[in-house]
Each structure stands twice: as structure tokens, then as C-alpha cells.
Amino acid sequence: MTRLSVNINKIATLRNTRQGNIPNVKLAAINCEEFGAEGITVHPRPDERHIRYSDVRDLRPIITTEFNIEGYPNRSLLNLVLEVKPNQITLVPDAHDAITSNAGWDTIANRGLISDIVAEMKEAGIRVSLFVGADPRMVEGAFHTGADRIELYTEPYASAYPFNPDQAISTFIEAAKAAEELNLGVNAGHDLSLQNLKFFKQSIPNLLEVSIGHALISDALYLGLELTILKYKECLR
């Protein structure tokens, strides 16, 4: 079964609109795990507009499933990762002012940079995943950096899915097959939802993990967090 990692950035975004600690990010993570999530994802950014570095430190001792930290690998983030030792780091090529992730790595042009970071993280015992588009060339480039996994950037799939699901998924199938041939694990994330997740899972049989935040937390406003997580997990069976 594909693992569901819940990105709790949106919980922190809501908290940060007011002083105080409501909603409580730590309690949200605990509840996600109790309701069946197999992982917790956070994406701290330099301006700390949602998840703060202090949140990452506070979360580490209480997470009992898998902890995934994603973000652009500047030195401050890498130092934080080396300090808290998550199970996985997902390297994302975000600009510092990006509203959300909007592209995968060019793993060919950035091979040297990424390879050095991958080596440093793996030496510390941290699994490394690279955020990439559905392009077999970028998948092969990820392999040459020494990464353990790729995370497929699924916004193009989510945008095209309502119009032609088969066409929307086709390049992702090719990329996942390329990863499997290279013995790279396959994760996925970005704009996956209750509407498009089941078809994605059925089409990508070697899918190890999905990281979902915005849609899942939004659905929880209507359905409640426990029922929402159960519904997402049903899509992954």
C-alpha cells in the first residue's frame, strides 16, 4: 500500500494569522498519525510564513511514523535537517519567495550541486528524494546524483486530469517506469486530491508515498480530519 504523508504546513499558516498556538501544530501531527497517516511532511521556508524552524524541532520527538522535511537546500535548512535527523529530506528547487512549489529540478544542469548535498545527507543516514517533473531524462539525472527516490511533481497531472485522465497520466507512467528500471523509489505530490488520487495510484503501481497538504487540509474543514484521512487512504488501496 502506498503511504500517505500529510503535509501540515496549512495548519501552521492558519496559526500564524494570529498570536498564540491555535491551531496547535503538534496536536495536528499527533492526530494525523492517530487517524492513520503513515507520515508527516513539513516544508519550512526562509521567511517561516507557515512551518517555523522551531516547529520542526518540536515535532521531531513526537512523530512516531515517518518524518519528511522538504524544501530548497540552503545551508540553514540543511543544518536543521542534520540537527533533527528526519527519515527523509525532499529537495525542492523553490525560489525563496515562491508561494508554492511550481517546478521540478533540472537534475542534469544541477547534478554537481545536488550530488554534494545528497552525499552529505546520506552520510548522516537520511534518505534523499528529489522533486522532479515527469521526464525520464530528469529521472535518470536524479539517479546519477545518488538520490534514493524521486518525488513526481503532479500539478500538471492534476490540472489535466478533469479533461483527459489517460493523457494526463501518460508521462507520469513513463517517468515511474524509468525510475523503477533505475531502482529509484517513487513518491509523488502537489495538487493530488480525492478527485484524482485513486486514478494516479492505480496507474503508478510502484508508488511508495504521496505527500498531500492543501487539498487534504481543505477537505478536513468539511469532513473532519479523521474521515478525510480515511478517504485519502481508501484512494491508495
Selecting among 33, 66, 151, 190, the annotated active-site residue is 190
Give the span between the Cα atoms of 112 and 220, in whole angstroms: 41
Catalytic option among 33, 50, 66, 70: 70
In this structure, the chain runs to a length of 237
Q: Is 190 a catalytic residue?
A: yes
56/74 Cα distance (integer angstroms): 16
Alpha helices, H only, 70-110: 75-84
34 belongs to the catalytic site: no
Candidate list 43, 66, 151, 209, residue with the active-site label? 43
Q: How many whole angstroms separate alpha carbon 90 and alpha carbon 100?
A: 14
> Is 50 labeled as catalytic in the residue annotation?
no
Half-sphere exposure of 170 (CA within 13 A, CB side): 6
Find how far residue 23's CA is from the centre of its chain.
22
Catalytic residues: 43, 70, 190
